Structure 1
Amino acid sequence: MTTRSEPAGSPASGSGSDPGEATLESFGYSQELRRSLRLPDLVVYGLVIMLPIAPFTIFGAVFNESKGMVALTYLIGLVAMLFTALSYREMSRAFPIAGSVYSYAGRGINDKVGFLAGWAILLDYLLVPTLLYVMSAAALNALMPEVPQWSWVVMFVVVNTAINLLGIESTARLNRLFLLGELVVLALFVGFGAAAVARGENGARFSLDPLVNPDLLTPGLIFGALSIAVLSFLGFDAISTLSEEVKDGDRRLVGRATLVALCVVAALFVLQTWIAALLVPGRTEFTGDDATNSAFYDIAWIAGGGWLKQTTAVAAALATGIANSLVAQAATSRLLFSMARDRKLPAFLAYVHPVRRTPERAILFVAALSLALGLFFTGQISLLSQLVNFGALFAFLMLHVAVFVHFRLRNRSPRWHLHVVAPAAGLLITGSVLWNADADAKTGGLAWLGIGVLVLLFYRLSGRGTDLALED
């Protein structure tokens, strides 16, 4: 087995008495990050990064694409993403280490594919914090136009970086508080919304039209809805970046948390969008950008008045700018740490603070990059979204291939439903969405992959290699 020397500034390896530490040592690593996360922490982390109130901000766009069947859109998205979640579960159990799809593809297929998968997901992870800051700044600017958007970006970056530097326990505690706040606001909307439907506000009545309207349902509409729904769930994969911080190194927790978080958030998506769609009966689209962007908040006004509209708008902005960005920065820093530890990125990113046991320099790097890009891309939400989506979807493709290669081809697994059928379905769905992605997204994404190929060639020609240690 190939082993590595520890990065400069890393704490020495322990005795290996801890099961998680022994597992890491079998892959050629020493335990550096603090193991303190349990199943509830991982589930909360996944819920926060997927944002239970995410439909607030994109309800109008999804409504238009689905002809009002928004709840159906999220049900389709859940089915589509379950296949990818199953692949993450299987690989997280086989390789319980930080790095997400970078580690899984590298060990499941080979080191070169792993590097390209990691490079692709980097496009997603590096830009997600920036995208969230820009989205939140735009939302708050609509409420307080006298405050420049760049100042919100600076504030969010500083706050999130300080919290992440304190350690993963601080992040986990704040995740619970943020999630509680989001669920309170969501409960207010659902409660007042259901009451408004019961009273017949705006002609509303309880029906299953937001779930399925046979008169409007077509294969083309289902595919269009699927494309949007899949992208709405992006982020659940970030749970796997915390594999080396799981209490006692339990291999099952990451995969279990991924599936639980995905199903819970899907149920919340369906519930809130069903109520919202009921309050605009007979409508199949919102006309104009302004009406589309403010659709959910206008419906909140129908449900509870101006205070509920303001509450949902502020909650969406803060949840995006702080709660969601906080966990996105944490996940990105762990991916950078993992790749730097394997010498695929500059070694300084692999430094772990000896007391707080956090990848300090990776956190600061993500903060600096997010600040620079956030100031540059202020107001350009569409372009950032397209690039983020390409990186995630391409990485998902590599994940599904890795499951098949590692379990079926290499280890002759008899579990065809998990190691052949599920990854094949996930590959087909993800590939279809990626194929039909925006042209600019594909151009930018392919350019990013081209740079990754050049970096890979540099490593090979310079003799640095891209080998990864496999478990004995």
Structure 2
Amino acid sequence: MTQHSHAHDDAHGKASLGPLLCWAVVFADIGSSIYYVPGILYSNVGGLAGFFVLLTMIIFVLLTLKYAEVSSRFPEGGGVVSVAAQGIHTWVGALGGMFILVSYFLTSAISCLSAIQYLSVVFPSLLPYALFITIGVLVLLGILNWIGISESAKVSLIAALVAFGGDLVVLFIVFTHISFQDAWQLFMGAFQQKGLTTTSLLVGFAGAFLAFSGLESISQLSPVMKAPRKKVISIALLLVVLTIGITSPLLTTLSTLLQPEAAGNEVLSTQLISLLGGHWGSTIVQQGVAISASLILIFAGNTAIIGAYHVFLALSRMDFLPAIILQRNRLRNTPHFSIALAAGIPILVLLIANGQINMLGDMYAFGLLGAFSITCLGLDIIRFREWRAARQHPEFARKHKLLKLAATMKITPQEAEAKLAAEVAKTPAALRKVRVFLAHWWKRLDFVLGVITTLLVLLAWTIGLFSKPLGTIFGGAVVLLGGGIAIINYMRQGSTLVLPTPLIARAPGSVIAVLGNEAHNQQVIDSALRKASSAQPVVFLYLSSQTLKRSPRPFEIFDPYLEDPKAKEAFSQAEKSARREGVPRQFVYQLATPEKLAHIWRFIRPLEIVLPESLMDEAKEINPDRLRYELTPGGKVAHLIKRW
């Protein structure tokens, strides 16, 4: 069943990002971490920094599998906000939004500060004024976003390729001067100098996740990906894993073990990759790496600002934050209040930390690992629900999968079924059995690996809560403040927040209440609730007539429902009435087309459909056993009854 988030690609505008451009945007975020993580990790775990990055790399690979699925499932974007709201609860989605905001704030602060520190390799006179210049850079990025100039994926591709090329040049130069055997002995020597205890193992494991901050970027690119999204996501994340796997563990290990004095120095530890290239290569390499590092770090800082202000906008559209955040200026039509917060809070963080990058690193884990944890947990819950529904209703699950395939391939369900049948007919029976067997066991293995990933990320987050008290205090304060504002705003509005969910199981005996005609919605709601039983839910289906003409932007949570105030008001009415009557309910949002209602009717197999007479055109593909009209003060309400 096509859910509310699967809006037509036409409505979303022309998708533009293929695998390479998606890789560029994500690598420009994750790949920038290598320039500041070695020094921050060295201050905590010494020469074992590279070991812990390599250890956490295993969890990073498992995380990419989960984020690939999140990106595919939620083409409207949103990442942790969407998956937590749908998988756990709407308010948990808001909590996830607060966590990712904490991560974005610190990403902006650390990235821009590191950019200036690397640039001081070329221009040493900048170093004493690094904090003030960083604040100026953040102000400039805020102004550029206010004007409406944000980085394009093509520019990110240039920055990512230059940075990745610089990383490879440094590795090549180092390994032409030392052998792998020497590097191995150096690495083993680190273990002898600092033995691993349980405490140091746990602290290092939790701290090394900082090296992989930015993975969430892939889920924010879904609205602007080319079709089929699943293929684009798979290739892009494979490239991310390969490029990060080649560079991050090796550069962390070499930059700290070959330069222990610099790694322990407050200033030089912020320039380790550039110094590594200069020590084993030349001044040209050192300055080239410094410039490319500055470039990609500023890109990462701007990406965080863009991501943060779009999360602010989404939380405001979900009625968690005041509507003033949605206001746009008349001159540039950009959300100036949201951008001001996204750029201003990192400036405040820098001032609080007095530009101390190790302190900023200690503050980082709370938001990053909190967002990872909620995303993983929400996805596990969604997977489990679908697995249980598939066991109870296998035919529904098959058709649900067929519709998803049709939406991905941009064809009708009938064409998708014919295409699938043709492919099956061409495949030998023995090969089909092998494929079914492998698919069955891969699903089980994928679910188990997903649960293990969730537990490991939760463990890392829990460790960080105690080992990084400063991060817990800062992140907790931001989340509590944001949560308090959300609660006050929610209570002040007096509305009931409802987010639609996909249909994952049949509900025979239920009632579908079709909403969309503002004048008759309450009559339809009341009539459907009178017909409902306590055993089966009322499925409130909103058929929207809105048309979305603009194209989505990168990092925008582009959900048609969040931009449809009439739908939100109708669902709020339905939720209040259903809660008062104690009737179980489900909410589905669709852009109105005649076949949508018929598809939902066939899949759910409800006892009846209740809708206003004015929406009967949407039901022309339905063949009920009986049609009955009910006269209400607001007009006629139709009941389409079917005995399955």
Could you tell me the TM-score, scaled by structure 2's length? Answer: 0.59
CA shift for structure 1 position 105:
0.4
Aligned partner (choices 167, 173, 179) of residue 160 of structure 2: 179
Tell me which residue corresponds to 1:97. Answer: 76
Aligned partner (choices 414, 423, 442) of residue 451 of structure 2: 423
**Structure 2 residue identity aligned to 1:454:** G
Could you say if the C-alpha distance between residues 181 and 160 of structure 1 is closer, same or farther in structure 2, counting changes exceeding 3 Å?
farther
Task: Show the 5 A alignment for 1:335-350.
Answer: 335-347=311-323, 349-350=325-326
Task: Show the 5 A alignment for 1:313-462.
Answer: 313-320=290-297, 322-347=298-323, 349-350=325-326, 362-363=338-339, 365-370=341-346, 379-409=355-385, 411-412=387-388, 415-436=443-464, 437-462=467-492
**Structure 2 residue identity aligned to 1:37:** L
Matched, 1:39 2:19: yes
**Structure 2 residue identity aligned to 1:465:** T
More strand by share: 2
In the alignment of these two chains, the number of paired residues is: 442
Provide Cα deviations, 1:166-198, integer angstroms capped at 9, x if missing partner: 567x52111011112213322332232222226
CA contact (8 A) 1:111 1:468 kept: yes
Higher mean C-alpha displacement, 293-302 vs 390-399: 293-302
3-state DSSP of counterpart to 2:178: helix
Tell me which residue corresponds to 2:94. Answer: 115
Aligned partner (choices 13, 29, 33) of residue 49 of structure 1: 29
Could you say if the C-alpha distance between residues 105 and 27 of structure 1 is closer, same or farther in structure 2, counting changes exceeding 3 Å?
farther
Aligned partner (choices 127, 130, 133) of residue 151 of structure 1: 133
Question: Identical aligned pairs, as a percentage?
Answer: 18
CA contact (8 A) 1:60 1:296 kept: no
Task: Show the 5 A alignment for 1:167-316.
Answer: 170-197=151-178, 206-209=182-185, 215=192, 218=196, 220=198, 221-248=200-227, 250-254=229-233, 257-276=236-255, 279=258, 287-290=264-267, 292-293=269-270, 295-316=272-293
CA contact (8 A) 1:400 1:426 kept: yes
> In terms of Rg, which structure is larger?
2
Could you tell me which runs of 5 or more consecutive residues in structure 2 were left unpaired when the two chains were aligned.
391-439, 503-587, 589-644
Could you tell me which runs of 5 or more consecutive residues in structure 1 were left unpaired when the two chains were aligned.
2-21, 199-203
**Structure 2 residue identity aligned to 1:46:** V
Could you say if the C-alpha distance between residues 325 and 292 of structure 1 is closer, same or farther in structure 2, counting changes exceeding 3 Å?
closer
Aligned equivalents of 1:382, 1:67: Cα separation in 2? 13
**Structure 2 residue identity aligned to 1:423:** V
CA shift for structure 1 position 402:
0.8
Could you say if the C-alpha distance between residues 74 and 37 of structure 1 is closer, same or farther in structure 2, counting changes exceeding 3 Å?
same
Provide Cα deviations, 1:114-161, integer angstroms capped at 9, x if missing partner: 111112211112342133223333444572248733234324542575
CA contact (8 A) 2:110 2:360 kept: yes
Could you tell me the TM-score, scaled by structure 1's length? Answer: 0.78
CA contact (8 A) 2:205 2:460 kept: no
CA contact (8 A) 1:117 1:394 kept: yes
**Structure 1 residue identity aligned to 2:290:** A
Aligned equivalents of 1:139, 1:184: Cα separation in 2? 17
CA contact (8 A) 1:89 1:256 kept: no
CA shift for structure 1 position 45:
0.7
Aligned partner (choices 36, 53, 67) of residue 74 of structure 1: 53
CA contact (8 A) 2:90 2:499 kept: yes
CA shift for structure 1 position 303:
0.1
CA shift for structure 1 position 400:
1.8
CA shift for structure 1 position 394:
1.2
Provide Cα deviations, 1:81-119, integer angstroms capped at 9, x if missing partner: 223222222222222222110111001112111111112
The alignment's C-alpha RMSD in Å is 3.9
**Structure 2 residue identity aligned to 1:441:** G
Could you say if the C-alpha distance between residues 402 and 192 of structure 1 is closer, same or farther in structure 2, counting changes exceeding 3 Å?
same
Higher mean C-alpha displacement, 141-150 vs 123-132: 141-150
Aligned equivalents of 1:451, 1:371: Cα separation in 2? 18
Could you say if the C-alpha distance between residues 273 and 133 of structure 1 is closer, same or farther in structure 2, counting changes exceeding 3 Å?
closer
3-state DSSP of counterpart to 2:497: coil
**Structure 2 residue identity aligned to 1:391:** G
